[in-house]
Structure 1
Amino acid sequence: MAGGEQGADQKRLMDGVYAFHRHIYDFTRKFYLIGRDLLIRELDVPRGGTVLEVGCGTARNLILTAKRFPDCRLYGFDISEAMLETARKSVAKHGLSDRITLAQGDAGAFDLQTLFGLAQVDRVFMSYTLSMIPPWVEAIELGAKALAPGGSLHIVDFGQYERLPGFAKRLHFKSLNDFHVFPRRELPAVLKRIAGEQGLSMEFRSLWRGYFWRASLIRPAG
């Protein structure tokens, strides 16, 4: 399937899934999307820096990042217009429309210049996004290429429950799959490959006995 057709299909799917769930998304997800706030704390955005969230959803993470790092400019995009409608309202409600810019875009084929008029950014993050999008490998590759010198890409997503009981993994993964969420077993290997190809360093942690994985790719400053 051509990339444009795949993106259009994914947009229709996500708009359908979140037509209702966007209204209760932040309340319900706080109970099991663990590690999002840890990611935000560790972004360490430089003064006056730029931050991009791939798959920004309701803009919950962008808003928290803006409050934690008050000197940065933030950008986010999502394939779902339904989620973006909620995101725009939330950003405006928090008085952050002058610092957070939102756009509709496909994580597997995005272009910073086209979406936001930017050549590169200091930080990119993906919070429980990769397990929801078919072109997840392309999203990482493009996110890494968007990094300025000294920039870093940060990921948090479901792990593989490596040190949890097998029945817990089966039950939870079944519930996730029902909502088109598929934890990416190949993530460490993909990150290692991309780091090697783009000359990046890599950090990887399995937390909460493998419930969630936390990873970073860092571009050298020089």
Structure 2
Amino acid sequence: MVEKPGAGALVADVGCGHGHSAMLMAQAFPASRFRGFDAHAASIAEARRLAAEAGLADRVSFEPGRASDYPGTAYDLICFFDCLHDMGDPVAAAAHAMRALAPDGTVMLVDPFARDHVEGNISPVGRLY
């Protein structure tokens, strides 16, 4: 999945929080443009501040938006980093991503591994969470 961002892609980071993942990708793929969306306005304000501070505001933008209705279409890549499990309607979020993708676009979903039952999550890592 590095060819498109390397050549210049339009990427959405849904549930971006303070924007760290979008900014890391922007640093790695300077030919691409990144749009971060989050429903939490204070996080968007902080993401904008951090992007300006890092000198990335020309290629990385942040807007308030829910995962089920953020603006834009023809995204080459839509990312969900450690957030889909927290969304009120993850099915609606996934459906919107499918509508917002370019015909040959990709959705990248990165979520923590968890077992279905509490007793399966009792471990040193589980205790940290």
Q: Does the pair score TM above 0.5?
A: yes
CA positional deviation for 1:43: 4.9
Q: Secondary structure at the match of 2:67?
A: coil
In 1: Cα distance, 2:107 partner to 2:87 partner: 17
2:108 is matched with 154
Q: Which entry has the higher C-alpha Rg, 1 or 2?
A: 1
In 1: Cα distance, 2:98 partner to 2:114 partner: 23
Larger fraction in helix: 1
Gaps of 5+ in 1: 1-41, 113-118, 177-222
Q: Give the root-mean-square deviation of aligned CA atoms.
A: 2.3
CA shift digits 1:89-134 (9 cap, x unpaired): 110111011101111011123332xxxxxx3111100001111111
What's the TM-score, normalizing by structure 1? 0.51
In 1: Cα distance, 2:115 partner to 2:24 partner: 28
Aligned length in residues: 125
Would you say the 8 A contact 2:37–2:70 is kept in 1? no
Would you say the 8 A contact 2:6–2:30 is kept in 1? no
Q: Secondary structure at the match of 2:122?
A: helix
Runs of 4+ with >3 A deviation: none
Task: List aligned pairs for 1:87-106, cutoff 5 A.
Answer: 87-106=47-66
CA positional deviation for 1:151: 1.1
Residue 76 of structure 1 pairs with residue 36 of structure 2: yes
Higher relative contact order (CA 8 A, sep 6+): 2
1:61 is matched with 21
CA positional deviation for 1:172: 2.9
In 2: Cα distance, 1:78 partner to 1:51 partner: 14
In 2: Cα distance, 1:138 partner to 1:60 partner: 24
Identity of aligned residues (%): 29
Letter of the 1:65 partner, please give it: M
